[in-house]
Amino acid sequence: MVENRPISQILTHVVLILGIVFLGFPVWMALVASTHPGEALAQSPIPMWFGDQGVANYTQLLTEGSPAVGGVALSTMLMNSLLMALGITFGKIAISLLSAYAIVYFRFPFRMLFFWLIFITLMLPVEVRILPTYDVVASLGMLNSYSGLIIPLIASATATFLFRQFFLTIPDELVEAARIDRAGPIRFFWDILLPLSKTNIAALFIILFIYGWNQYLWPFLITTDQDLYTIVMGIQRMVNVGEGLPIWHLTMGTAILAMLPPVLVVLAMQRLFVKGLVESEK
């Protein structure tokens, strides 16, 4: 057995605790700031322990919003974020399942061409083709709409590859058995393939939900209508307030609310999350 010295054991825990503190500290400060009245954050040093305005601040944010964003209630923004995140997640999973199914279980002309077309999307992140994509969405009349927020982001090479990889591990005997029982391709997909893919879908769901929720540039570009702001993008209006100073206690409250849903998803479904993360990167 490898030696076990108490010193190195202590060092191990020290490293881990330092890491946790480093990762947690910014969130701690944000959380603390969001429970103070605005005046408490006017001069340095700012408080390191909770104030008594937490309930009032969060109530104000959720019902009236921050004056910096023209008073859009954060509950509206959270709802928009949720709709966008779920739309992207379901959209990606649905169209990727279908295309992976077609590519693995059928032989048809141009199959490989389709495969490569999907592959290419990996190399074209939104950030590098901002303007032309914006033009396309504008000419389709999809600016300021949920479909504009969701549809352009639902193509997914990663999800397609993941499902393709998984379908390839499913034994051929299942298809043969299904065919003997006279099940057609749609029946096979619905009754056999889909139930078998449940765990993979769930794992991918977590990763894609986080991806969708955290979108920033895209909603920023195509929504000018305040009622369609998502929370991750909306916070930017509270930080960049031109000449004035940000209203810090409200801005930090918004940051906390914006990160809460995806963080909770990760913590609640840790095992699935790790599985999804490791597999979608293969």
Q: HSE, CB side, 13 Å, CA atoms: give it for residue 124.
A: 15
Nearer to other proteins, 76 or 262 (CB): 262
Is the bond preceding residue 132 a cis peptide, omega within 30 degrees? no
Residue 105 interacts with other proteins (CB under 8 A): yes or no: yes
Question: Residues 3 to 22: which contact other proteins by CB under 8 A?
Answer: 3, 8-9, 12-13, 15-16, 19-20, 22
Residues in contact with 55: Cβ distance below 8 Å, sequence separation at least 6, in sequence order: none
CA 106 to mean position of chain CA atoms: 32
User: Given the rule CB under 8 A, which of 50-58, 60-68, 70-78, 176-184 is the region that contacts other proteins?
Assistant: 176-184
Angle between helices 157-168 and 74-105 (to 10 degrees): 40
Residue from 90, 15, 54 nearest 249 by CA: 54
Question: Residues 197 to 216: which contact other proteins by CB under 8 A?
Answer: 210, 213-214, 216
Residue 263 interacts with other proteins (CB under 8 A): yes or no: yes
Q: Are 212 and 153 in contact (CB under 8 A)?
A: yes
Residue 128 interacts with other proteins (CB under 8 A): yes or no: yes
Applying CB under 8 A, among 39, 55, 123, 242 the residue interacting with other proteins is 123
Q: Are 92 and 157 in contact (CB under 8 A)?
A: no
**Taking the complex as a whole, how short is the minimal distance between the CB of residue 110 and other proteins, in angstroms?**
9
**Taking the complex as a whole, how short is the minimal distance between the CB of residue 68 and other proteins, in angstroms?**
13
User: Given the rule CB under 8 A, which of 54-62, 65-73, 178-186, 190-198 is the region that contacts other proteins?
Assistant: 178-186
**Taking the complex as a whole, how short is the minimal distance between the CB of residue 21 and other proteins, in angstroms?**
10
Question: Residues 130 to 169: which contact other proteins by CB under 8 A?
Answer: 130-133, 135-137, 140, 151-152, 154-156, 160, 167-168
Question: Residues 39 to 68: which contact other proteins by CB under 8 A?
Answer: 41-46, 48
> How far are the Cα atoms of 81, 87, 139, 143, 259 from residue 150, in angstroms, in the given order?
11, 6, 16, 11, 20
